[in-house]
Structure formats: C-alpha cells, structure tokens
Chain A
Amino acid sequence: MKKHWPWILTALFVFEVLFALRPRVDKDGAFHTGAFGRLPVLLGGRQQPLDSVARNNLLIIRGTATVPLEGNAADGSWGAWEDIADKGGLTERKWYQFSKRPKKLKSIEWLLEVFARPDDADGRYIFRIHHPELLGELELEDKGVDRAGLRYYAFAQLSPHLGHVESEARTISGVDNERRTPYQKAVMDLFRGLQLYIKLKNSVRPQMFVDDTAHIFSPPNAALSGDAEAHQHADGQYSYQEIAPMIPKIREQAMSVPRDDEAQQSAYGSFLGRVRAYEGLKAVWRDEWRTDYTAELRDFEAVLKPGFEAVTKQQSGQEFDRTAFERVVSFGERYVHMANLAHPMMIPPADSTKPVEDWANVGKALMDSIREGSIPSPVMRYAEMMTAYARKDVEGFNKAVTVYSGELKQRLPDSVRKGGEEYAFNQFSAFKRAMMIYLAGLILTLFFWLRMSENLRRAGMQLVVLALVVHTVGLIWRMYLERRPPVTNLYSSAIFVGWGAAVLGVILERIHRNGIGTVTAAGIGYITLIIAHHLSMDGDTMEMMRAVLDTNFWLATHVTIITLGYAATFLAGFLGIVYIVRGLLTPSLNNETARSLAGMVYGIVCFATLFSFVGTVLGGLWADWSWGRFWGWDPKENGALMIVIWNAIILHLKWGGMIRERGLMNCAVIGNIVTAFSWFGVNMLGIGLHSYGFMDAAFRWLAIFSLTQLALVALGTVPLQYWFSVKRGILSPPGYKPAAS
C-alpha cells in the first residue's frame, strides 16, 4: 500500500479530470441553461455560444466567472444579499469560512437574468470599484459588498450616477490612455462596465416600460433652473408624472437654444426624443407586456401589414391610415433604440449558404420585419424563452430552447456544432484544472526535498505529467476551435510559454530524477496559467485576428518558435533560482544535484539560444515578407534581440571560462528579467507595430518582478562560505576552496 499511494493519488486526479470531461446534461425539472448556453450568436466578428458571451462579459465587468448571492452582514449574520442588505457592511465569504458555501449564479444564469429579469439583475453586485476618490464622489463608501478590499456594487445603486459617470468619461476619453491618472482609469473602467451591461440588457428585449412614476427622465439642467414647481431631485432623474406639465415649456425652450451650442442641443434633443418615444409607447402599451415579451411581439406582428402599407402610402403622398402609421412608428422607435444598443447579434442568417454578415441583433431583426411583414422565428423563440424565464416557467423555457435548437440544427448545423464544441471547452476549463494540478504536484515535490521520500517525488512527477496532459488537451482544443496555431495573442502566449517550460521540465525530470524538473515544470506552469487567467479578463480570448496577423504560416513558425524561446529562457532562470535558494538557504544542495543543475541550465540555455535566434530572424523574415523590411528596430523586435544577445553572452562567458557553476545560475536568473521585459514590457510602451497586446499599469509589476530577480542574484553572489549547503560540506562548487580551519 505504502508503495502504491502515488498511483492511487494520481488515479484520483485522473478520475476527477475524466469526470469533468463528461458530456453535460441539463437536469429535468430545472431550467436548461446548458442548452441555452450552447446557442450560437455572433459577437466580436465570430460565432460563439452564449456561454462564452456570458463568461467573457462577466469577467470584464466583475472580474469573476460567477456571481455570489450570499455573504456576511456587518453583525456576522449570513444570508442572501437581499435579506441582509439593510444591515450594511456586507462582505463576501472570508477565506477562512470553510463551512460556508455561498449560492452562486453561473455566468450563463446571470446573462439570462440580465436578458429576462432585469429587475433582479439590477440588484446583483457586479460592478467593481475600488478607487476611494470615485467611491467618495458617488457617495458609495459604506454601500456595496466587500471582498478583500475590492468593493462590488449593483446597477440599481449606480444608475442614479449614470449621467455623472458618463460626462466624466467623455472628458477623460480625450486624455491619452498612458497619461490617465488612476482615478481617471477607475472612472473609465466603471463606465465601460456600465455601458456593456446596458448593451447586454438591450440585446434581446427593449428596456423601456410604461410607468409614469418611474424616474427615467433626465431633463436638461437649463430647463429646470428657476422652476419653482419642479421638485428638485439630486440625481437629476424625474418621472413622467413630474415632467409632463413642463414638456410644452421645454419644447419652447429647445427652439431658442443657439445652433452652435452643441451640448445644449444634444441635451434637449435626447430628452425630447425620449419623451416622444415614451409617449408613443404609451399609445400602444399594454400592461401585459411587462412580463410577456411574446405578447408584445404578437401585438407588433398585428400592426406590421397595415403599418407598412400606411408608411408606404405616406411616403408617396397618398391617403393613409393614421392610426396604423402611428402605431408602427411607435414600435419602430422602440426597436431602433434597441438595435443601436444591442451587443451580441442573436439572430442568425436564414440558412448556412448566407454569409456571416447576415447575422443581426434582435432590434435590427425587428426593424427589418416591418418591411418583411413577419417577425423571424428566432426572435419569437427568444421571446418565448425570455417570457418563460421571467415567469419562472421551467417547462415553457425548456420547450422553447429545445424547439429553437432543433430549428437551428436544421438550418445552421455548423454553427450549432461550433457552439457545442466551444461550450464543452468552457465547461472543462482545462487551463484552470491544469493550474490546480500543477500546484498539487509542486507542493508534493517540495515536500520531497524536505523529507526525501522517493514516493513523494514520484507522486509529484505523476501529477505534473497529468497537469501537462490536461494543459495539452486544452491547448489543442483551443487550436481546433480557432483553426489557428497555438499563439494568437498575449493570453495564448502565456499558456504556451507555460506549456513549453513544462514539457522541457518533465523531460529534465525523466533524465535526472531529482525533483528539479518537476518543481520547475510545475512552478512555471502554475505561474504562467495564473498570468493567462488575469490576461483573460480583458475579454474574448479567441478574438478575430487583425489583418496583419492573419497568416497561419508565420503564426505557426515565428510566433511558436520565439515563444518556446521565452519558455526555455524562463526555465533556465527558474533552475538558477532553485540552485541559489537551495544552496544558500537549505542544507539540501549536494554536489551531485548542483552538477546536474548546471548541466540542465547549460542545455536549456543552448536550446533557448537556438529557438530565440531562429524565432527572431523568422520574425524579421515575416516583416520582410509583408512590409518589405527585415529589421526596423521595433520595440518587440528589440525585445527578442535582447533575449538572443543575453543568451549569447551567457554562452560566451561559459566557453571563455569567465563564469562557472554559480555564475551560470546568476546569469540565468537575469535572463528572467530580459525575457519578462521583452514579453510584456515592450507591449506596455504602447508604441510600435507590435503593440497589439497593449497593457497599462502593469509595468510596475514588471519592475517589481525585476527587483525580486535582482535580489535573488544578490543572494547568489553571497560568498560561498556562508551558503548553508557549503557549510554542511555537501556542496563545493568548482573552483571553490574552503578556508582552512
């Protein structure tokens, strides 16, 4: 038994992985959110399942893949947010509250809520704000939900400030991204999140409802001043009841606004436009629509024919049916507004022979139906789903989803298959899974160094191999979904760097069998996947390739090879760290291990030189092929060149006998700085032809990383007589002569 426990442990993990791979089937009697999540839509120029839309947008807005529904109140009580909200001081589950398992909304459930139950969705704590000044300005300091210093707010809390945030954002958008202050960046982030949320809300269903007491109008400030009757609201939002008596006066004022005063013109214009749309809606409104989107669309369908006739006649100057005309125009205004806001295009082309350009958003499809005379069936199906979900009618929802996916399968089999494949990829979340297994392997192997039990080493290595398999599955799956080589953006480069380093690490472990390969493979695999996870918060990680990069040949050669060069340089640096830390701080680095480490670093540096040189020159050849110049001193080119030069320096130092074992290790650690700079640093400069992976604010992290590496090098240069392993007499690097004692 004792001998076999590594196998048993690995088998458990394998079982978990296989279990995660099982096909997901929705439970009977519950909403079939899985089937809903598989439905294909068009967003960012590519077809993707709604599940991806939900995940990516929730990640952008909230930074997490789920929305917790429960937590702690200030008095320590635990419950659903809406029950404990009045107690204030809300916090999410603290890390030590192991017994608490808060209910959570999956991203797809959240998206459904946004689509179908906007009132519920408005109460979810999803907007992240942590800039104290901004919180102060919006008077939100003691509201919202706290998690480790981050604060989350609900749309309902923020909506009174929409106008303010928008006008701030408009000012800031004139400032260069790099020159923005942290406050300005926080405002822009919030604004972008709010905008995205509003767009999502308007993607399936119009969001304007008739309610004369709802505060949904913001008249121009100039129109309110001096009006004693108007009850002044701090947030500038008024109900129809309140503004109705003022409207004629405001219309009059609008006429006298000077033509060149654009701000005033647009303030009056948008307010009066909204009033007109609202009044138009009031004329056709039935209260049933509030919960029954299908009923609304049926009413709309009924006016299509007479309405279209009236419109055509009116345009050609003939007698026309005024009621039908006004009705159809009221509907039209409602849907145009929606068409302008909508985010994903939900309505597919009629069949698979039509181009991808024929996808449309719901608002646009409804507008088009005025001309066509009927509403396309996908719109009706989505309306049925939304109505059923709003009424918590499980059966109705599931039926609508089933019918719609059946119809789609007939019309667009490819889109449906793609949606299903990407959905399964999302569900498996290979990279997150691999990350956890790397961590487990890392911990076991570190224990092996302390306890020196061969079983621990074997268990660690088996887990890392398993993690690598999962990592590889994810990588290949992603390549299959994208029909692209592995590296297409900064996110995927992180995944590939980790993969390359892990492969090399596992090979080293097979050769040397001393845990070092495992530790480095697991360490780099884990860290790079965390980096990838953070990069994924910028949105869709499988976005379409810009025209310049749209070539699988160069992506497969130049990008892949140079990324392997990065991976190898990091691996060498990591091995150097292992040498320094173990030799200086622990009594565990013996001569045998030290020699094998030196051999590994030397071999990996050779590999890195080859790959970074060939990769860099291939990049030049690509540039020559597509821009007509081999080398242009572009920042990314320079970064790659620096890696090549640094590796060449290490090799020459080694061959010239200017460094030996310890020097080699210190040099390899410096390689980490050079590689990190050329991988991320040059993207942060925001200049050059390669600034496709532009990131801001992260340069400071790069500087901190560089300082830690320099600190390690400083440790590496501590005189050998102070090294723990040397003092124990197990380590004597070449050329070291212990002082006679």
Chain B
Amino acid sequence: MLASIFKFFTSLKLTVVCLCMSLVVVFFGTMAQDPLGLYIAQERFFHSFFIDWASLKAAIEKTLQMVDVYVAAPTTGADVLAAPRIPVFPGGYLLGSILLINLIVTHYSRFKFSWPKAGIFLTHIGIVLLLVGQLFTDVFSSESSMRLSVGESRNYAEDFRKNELVLIDGSSAEHDVTTSIPQSRLRKGAVIEHASLPFKLRVLEYWGNADFTGESKPGYTKVDADKGFGPKIFVKGLPPVTAMDGRDMPGIVLEAFTDSGSLGRWFSAVGFSPRQVIEAGGKEYQVALRIKRYYTPYSLTLVEARHDKYKGTEIPRNFSSVVRVKNSESGEDREVKIFMNNPLRYQGKTYYQYQMAADEMMLRQGERPTSTFQVVENPSWLAPYLACVIVGLGLLYQFGLHLKKFFVRKAKA
C-alpha cells in the first residue's frame, strides 16, 4: 500500500499530468478574469484546492464569446459568489502541492547526484525555492495602500479589501486606546465582548456591501438605530464588488448593552464619517466601521504630486510624488521622491507609486492633487531573485551539456 503510494508520487507521468492540468487552470483562470474580476478569479482558480463549477463555467463562456459564440446570460462575479461551490477540477494549490511532493519525493528516492545531472538537480531546487517562496509570500506578505492629498500626513496604510470595527477610547491625554474587531467577526447576531470595553456589542444587521443616503429613496430602507446619526439614514444592500480596483463598503447596525440593559443602537458604515460615541463607565468610546489600518511609527506627508504627459498627447510620461518622511523615534525628517520604477524602501516596507489624480483639468479647477501608494511588506522578496538565478544556471548547464554532446557526436560522424 505504502509502496504503491510512493510509486504514484514518484511517477513522471504524474508530473506530466499535473503540468497539463496546470496549463488548463492557468488558461481558464486567465479567461475568467474578465467576467469575474482578478480577485475572484485568483481565489477560485489559483488560491484554491478545487475549482468550482460556476467559476469554470464563467471562464468557458468568456472563451466562447471571444470566438464570437453568443452566450445568452454570461455568469458574473456575483453569480459565482452566490452559487454553491461544486468542485469540478483541481485548483492551483492542489496541483502545486502534488507537483512539489512529486518533485521532492522523486529526488529523495531515485535521484543519485552525478555531474551530468547536476543541471536538472539545480533547476528543480530553484523551482522548489520559487514555489515555497510564493507560498511564504501568500502567507506572510501584506499589501495595503496609502492615499494622500497634497499637504496631508498619515502614519498608517489601509488594507485593500479588509475592514474593521473600532472603538476608540480618547480619555487618555497621551494616546488613544483603540479596540479593533476584525471584519470576520461581524456577522448578524454575533455578540462581541472585550476586556477593554465596559459593554458588549451585538450585531443586529450587517451588509457586506451597502450604499447609504440621508433621504428616502426607492430600494432604500430606514436604518433601525436610535443613537448617533443612524436614525436619519436610509440604506440599501448591494452585491459584492468584483472589479479589480473596486472594494466592498460594508454597513452595520450595532446594539451596545451591559448587564443592566441596552445602551442603544448605532449605525456605521465604511465611508460614513460623522463622529459617533457610545458612553459607558464614565468614558466616551468613538465607534466606527472603517477600512482596516496598519500603523507605522513614522508618518508620510505628500509635498508634491505630478502627472506629466508627453507634449500634445495623452501618453503619461511620468507619475511622481515628493513625500516628507518624519520619524520621531530616529529624529529623521527628509524629503523623498517616489516615481514609477523607483519606490521608497523604508523599515521593511516598500512604497510604490500606485495611483495618481493630478490631471491638469483637476488642477485648473483648483482641486488638490492626490497620490496613492501601494505599501508592501514581503519578508520573502528575495526568494524569486535567487530562484531565477539557480534555475537559469541549472538549465544553462544542462542544455550546454546536451549541446556539447551533440557537437562531439557530430564531429565524430
């Protein structure tokens, strides 16, 4: 039994079958990006063990459309999220894992090191490093963004997709005490308690994506809240956003209560800015649902944002931002220019020029230009660099050997 499993995993046929299947996954995962958006396509095809039928259907439909076959009602991102996940094909994680096991077991059991095979060995080591490095990146790296308008300072970056519920106790003169509750805990009916809070919270209503307004409009219902600004708000649940640079804007209705009874019901939502407080235990707790923040011990201030175009065209010539880095710990205070292909690397984080709103039109209308940075922290960033060199050398060595053999044979003939 064990021997046959072992044999299965060392088979070269397995390698070939898995590679062929990955080809299929990559192809459909690419096609699916138009109907589903990059994020869902990535989750369902590459970052999953099995591909579900709805996603695959969307990819197949897109392929048919590309060759001018009419598809009546193409599957959308929202359809895929709503559909049950019926696994129909192995996904990226499964194929990657099998290939990795296949590679390691085969080398361990069969492979005797010899110089003529050193190239193959090296190549495979490099590929293992690449795959493992990517796995590490998936797990340990974080991507967030920082949007600044000229003159504005920030000491935090915001997550691209995640949100948080925060309760801020501003009673201390030195610093605020913030209690953050991750989005994953916010489900209708959930009860949240935390040692730093003198009350508990109950989630009465939660919309994964919502729009709200101050006046009654068709499709919008009145928020069932009695404290803060909630009572004046009308809200409407929306389908999840699937576009690559779009994001969900969740909304929530919360009840705060203690053992002695309810303190009231509050509404909040991402993008809902007025300050609302819960009073309890003689303190004020500011409550807000907001984009998840990552704080840094230093701050960035946007000094200048430029979007240059080539004369007489709409072709962007350059996007560049000048920022002031201020670090009270190290006493640093300097200006840095960030532009395309030239990020700022600072304390393990890298700031890339990501988006820019500094059009001439905007400037003429007197709006302040804004610049958005992508903030990346990736401890395993070096792995692909190394892997590239190792695989490159391995292939070069192996194919060089073949070439040499070929010429020797040719010379003899």
Contact = CB atoms under 8 A, between A and B. Distances in A.
Contacts of B260: none
A638 B46 CA distance: 11
Interface residues of A, number: 67
A686 B387 CA distance: 31
A294 interface: no
Given A625-B341, A630-B381, A685 B31 contact: yes
Nearest to A554: B341
Nearest to A617: B388
Nearest to A625: B341
A547 B312 contact: no
A712 interface: no
Interface stretch (A183-191, A272-280, A608-616, A730-738): A608-616
Contact of A684 (B13, B66, B339, B395): B66
Of A550, A626, A633, the most chain B CB neighbours within 10 A belong to A633
Nearest to A361: B312
Contact of A630 (B317, B319, B384): B384
Nearest to B244: A687
A628 B402 CA distance: 37
A622 to B, nearest CB: 8
B175 to A, nearest CB: 30
A550 B68 CA distance: 36
Contact of A626 (B12, B38, B315, B340): B340
Given A42-B311, A655-B12, A645 B22 contact: yes
B15 A44 contact: no
B328 to A, nearest CB: 26
Interface string A349-369: 000000011010000000000
Given A614-B388, A617-B384, A687 B34 contact: yes
Interface in A511-534: 511
Contact of B310 (A544, A618, A645, A685): A544
A626 B343 contact: yes
Contact of A551 (B12, B68, B341): B341
B217 to A, nearest CB: 22
B402 A606 contact: yes
Of A638, A684, A700, the most chain B CB neighbours within 10 A belong to A638
B303 to A, nearest CB: 20
Contacts of A625: 341, 343
Interface residues of B, number: 62
Nearest to B409: A599
A111 B316 CA distance: 28
Of A547, A610, A652, the most chain B CB neighbours within 10 A belong to A547
B26 A645 contact: yes
Interface of B is mostly: helix
Of B13, B16, B312, the most chain A CB neighbours within 10 A belong to B312
A682 B343 CA distance: 28
B321 to A, nearest CB: 13
Nearest to B15: A652
B210 interface: no
Contacts of B13: 656, 658
Contacts of B42: 633
Contacts of B385: 621
A729 interface: no
Interface in A7-58: 42-46
B86 interface: no
B374 interface: yes
Contacts of B34: 685-687
Contact of A685 (B30, B318, B341): B30
A656 B29 CA distance: 29
A674 B312 CA distance: 39
14 contacts: A43-B312, A45-B309, A45-B310, A547-B316, A603-B406, A609-B399, A610-B392, A614-B391, A617-B391, A626-B343, A626-B352, A627-B352, A629-B378, A633-B30
Interface of B: 12-13, 15-16, 19-20, 22-23, 26-27, 29-31, 33-34, 38, 41-42, 46, 66-68, 130, 134, 137, 143, 309-313, 315-319, 339-343, 350, 352, 354, 374, 376, 378, 381, 384-385, 387-388, 391-392, 395-396, 398-399, 402-403, 406, 410
Given A356-B311, A546-B316, A547-B317, 4 more contacts: A606-B398, A614-B388, A617-B384, A639-B30
Interface of A: 42-46, 345, 356-357, 359, 511, 543-544, 546-548, 550-551, 554, 599, 602-603, 606-607, 609-610, 613-614, 617-618, 620-621, 624-635, 638-639, 641-642, 645-646, 648-649, 652-653, 655-656, 658, 674, 677, 682, 684-688, 699-700, 703
10 closest Cβ pairs, A-B complex? A45-B310, A628-B376, A656-B12, A617-B388, A606-B399, A626-B341, A638-B30, A610-B395, A703-B67, A45-B313
